[in-house]
Structure 1
Amino acid sequence: MQVVSGFEDTKPFDVLHPAEQSAPFVFNSPHSGRHYPLPFLQSSRLDALAIRRSEDAFVDELFAGVVELGAPLLCARFPRAYLDVNREPYELDPKMYEDRLPPYANSRSIRVAGGLGTIARVVGEAQEIYRTRLPVREALDRIETIYKPYHQTLRRLLARTHVAFGHAVLIDCHSMPSTIRSSDNGPRPDFILGDRYGTSCARSLIDQATDILRGMGYTVARNKPYAGGFITEHYGRPAKGLHALQVEINRSLYMDEARTDRSSGFAELSRDMRRFCEELVAGTDADLAPDALAAE
């Protein structure tokens, strides 16, 4: 964790660009931010460790090698507990605020009901974040100054990639608690790949990603319980040559979840993620273009 005064003088996110983009891929790590504004921490009832329970810690580092492979990486600095860009822009819980929400807010989504809207009410196992209700203006300010610029940047990266290559592939990078199972009695998967049940990317992309990971000895599940969030659903348009695939990594592979710290497995998984991305980038090309998909 790094404590900052706010995001007026601190960049809320980074784009790591290759010297030359040589792959039709954009990688995104929206939940790995670990810069916590001091006023936010002071408004929270949680300690410095508990507030990080929803953070996809170090995922940006696991995928940092993609830049050398010729693909850009967009990564958040702001924490998910502060603002979640993998939501609609105005999924807001009216119970969190002192005053009335604007009429365009979506306060009835399942994610809001679970306390995990654009401005989260809880982290981890339903741990309440805030001591008191917030002014609506504070939520709207976070959306205007961070959420909207983040998505504008992501759209720009994908548009440039699509123009340059004729198609674009978004890999949305996340981590999941080690307790997650893909079914009631199933094993705990090392990875869960989400393509919104076949709607956000070509079947060949998720098939290839699955084969690479299984070939490396990992267990892989698809879509359950993570099919992909707002980003995967919103940007995945396979018929237009825009493909989005969500990758969830079991945190026990690389970190001590109790301490939010890297474990002895971090270096090995970093190497494996570099290899996974290298093989994924090398194995997908013109078959993801709109014309190729239409001919199938």
Structure 2
Amino acid sequence: MTEFDGEFSPPFEIAEPEVWRAPIIFNSPHSGSVYPNSFLNASRIDLEALQRSEDSFMDELIDHLSVRGFPVVRAHFPRSYIDVNREPYELDPRMFVGRLPSFANTRSMRVAGGLGTIPRVVGDGQEIYRERIAVEDALARIETLYKPYHRALRRLINKAHQTWGTVILVDCHSMPSVGVARDEPRRPDVVIGDRYGTSCAALIPSVVEETMAARGYSVGRNKPYAGGFITEHYGNPSSGLHTVQVELNRAIYMDERLRQRSERFRTVAEDFTVLADALASIPLSDLGPFQAAAE
């Protein structure tokens, strides 16, 4: 493990099998639930409100996949503290005391919505901080948490790509069962995000959809979630780099109000095993190209 800021032990975890079954990696970047006291003291909202931004228990739904030959990556730091599914410097200057680096992206739609690399709000729009925080604090989180996380993820991706010439990254998230907008239709059980067909070969979301539908789930694509920075940044199908985001409706595996696992939790975890097996059955020749392995 790489360096971290001392409040997380460790900041993230990688369960890598001795023998990979297939070039498939499962990633849970938003299930972290370790809240530093300094962060809680700086927050104007309580822990329960902060926890509503977590992809609660998503890491537990996939952690058993490592013993089946699939690497699993899970963050321990919460997304409300720093969000690794953003560019490294999507920062809102109104949040900080001090000058941001000139290369910071201060005008993205995510920053405007308060959901940059250092979020200003939690998912339901509540402001997090009592007062502005130091720029140095934000940059320290990026250096000690964000960058090591992405270095480790990139190492796994490169390892698979160099061995097989292709790789599938499954970015696992969960979503509230009800959207903020009143006119939003009922959310499906599963939403597949492939950046509208740009982050992976078309076969991959089709396999996800067919597999989950066969297990009784309702499935949608790209709405309301098409994939964030991870899906966009690591997805380059023309080079054999495939990334698909899987959003799970929290109501199917947990009590959202009580933040407790429901009776279906174990069944949903078993369905992820079925999904992993289905993805592993995709012929590598359908995913190519193989130039990396040939070098």
Instruction: Give the partner amino acid of 1:270.
Output: A
SS of 1:122's partner is coil
Q: Which residue of 2 aligns with 1:254?
A: 253
Gaps of 5+ in 2: none
Structure 1's 222 and 284: CA in aligned 2 closer, same or farther, altered over 3 A?
A: farther
Asked if 1 retains the 8 angstrom alpha-carbon contact of 2:91 and 2:117, the reply is yes
TM-score normalised by length of structure 1? 0.93
TM-score normalised by length of structure 2? 0.93
Q: Displacement, 1:289?
A: 1.0
Q: Which residue of 1 aligns with 2:125?
A: 126
Q: Which residue of 1 aligns with 2:220?
A: 221
- Report which stretch shifted further, 276-285 or 233-242: 276-285
SS of 1:28's partner is strand
Instruction: Give the partner amino acid of 2:204.
Output: L
CA deviations on 1:33-78 (whole Å, 9 max, x unpaired) are 0111111111111112111111001101101122122111111000
Q: What value does the CA root-mean-square deviation take over the aligned residues?
A: 2.0
Q: Which residue of 1 aligns with 2:239?
A: 240
Distance 1:118 1:105 in 2: 10
Q: Displacement, 1:217?
A: 1.1
CA deviations on 1:95-121 (whole Å, 9 max, x unpaired) are 111122111111100000111000001
SS of 2:133's partner is coil
Q: Which residue of 1 aligns with 2:79?
A: 80
Q: Displacement, 1:185?
A: 6.5
Asked if 1 retains the 8 angstrom alpha-carbon contact of 2:88 and 2:142, the reply is yes
Structure 1's 184 and 152: CA in aligned 2 closer, same or farther, altered over 3 A?
A: same
Q: Which residue of 2 aligns with 1:3?
A: none
Matches within 5 A, 1:64-79: 64-79=63-78
Q: Displacement, 1:207?
A: 0.8
**Aligned sequence identity (%):** 53
Name segments (4+ residues, structure 1) moved above 4 Å.
Answer: 181-186
CA deviations on 1:156-210 (whole Å, 9 max, x unpaired) are 0000001111101100000000014999564420000000000000001111111
SS of 2:243's partner is strand
Q: Which residue of 2 aligns with 1:137?
A: 136
SS of 1:227's partner is coil
CA deviations on 1:211-253 (whole Å, 9 max, x unpaired) are 1111111110001111100000000010100000000000001
SS of 1:68's partner is helix
Asked if 2 retains the 8 angstrom alpha-carbon contact of 1:87 and 1:230, the reply is yes
Gaps of 5+ in 1: 1-5
Q: Which residue of 1 aligns with 2:96?
A: 97
Q: Which residue of 2 aligns with 1:155?
A: 154
